[in-house]
Structure 1
């Protein structure tokens, strides 16, 4: 990929991130600066988001099972699918990191 193409893709991603910040419902801040956080920090934040999604869906499932009238089945199913997809994505990222680590460790110097 050429440098102008990379810059264009980066600008597009930054504009999408700024739009996501505007649509953020709970006041969560999304960093739009390149290199603003460390890789470990971003990985930890992603794991915390996945955990939060799973906890939310579990709490809604318990409320639905208890007969809470404020919990709709369609909202519960959407939250459960979000948590499932997020967990699968986290698992795939972990698998890719392990593969990359093994590849680096197997390199001969």
Structure 2
């Protein structure tokens, strides 16, 4: 069975029509994705990595300021910044692992 973008959209619209407010579910309008080129994904990935880098630099800066005795920086702010950077980094590593796994799976497919 081949599922194309138009048949998928028709199926989603059909399902949207079956939803009723009495079910407690308000249908949301469907949005068309206009551009799905690889360049957008690359820029999105670059922005995400840049954001993780900013979080790590901010965390490092706060830790340095706390160590130097800056009274405007609290220990709780420093720990929170460190944890945010840690969570963002771990999420980035997990995304990378999933991308590598998907790449390996695609490369092992028979032609």
Please give the TM-score of this superposition, normalised by the length of structure 2. Answer: 0.69
**Does 1:85 pair with 2:71?**
no
Pairs within 5 Å for 1:15-34: none
Give the alignment of 1:1-109 within 5 angstroms.
Answer: 3-4=12-13, 8=28, 35=35, 38-109=40-111
- Alpha-carbon distance, 1:81 to partner: 0.3
Structure 2 regions of 5+ residues with no counterpart?
1-7, 17-26
Q: Give per-residue Cα distances to partners, 1:12-47, cap 9 Å, x unaligned.
A: xxxxxxxxxxxxxxxxxxxxx864871000000000
Give the Cα separation in 1 of the matches to 2:76 and 2:97: 31
Distance 1:61 1:106 in 2: 45
1:52 CA drift (Å): 0.2
Instruction: Identify unmatched segments of 5+ residues in structure 1.
Output: 12-32
Q: What SS class does the counterpart of residue 103 from structure 1 fall into?
A: helix
| Structure 2 Cα separation of the partners of residues 85 and 9 of structure 1 | 33
TM-score (norm 1): 0.70
Shift of 1:9: 9.2
Structure 1 pair 95–55 and aligned structure 2 pair: CA distance change class (3 A): same
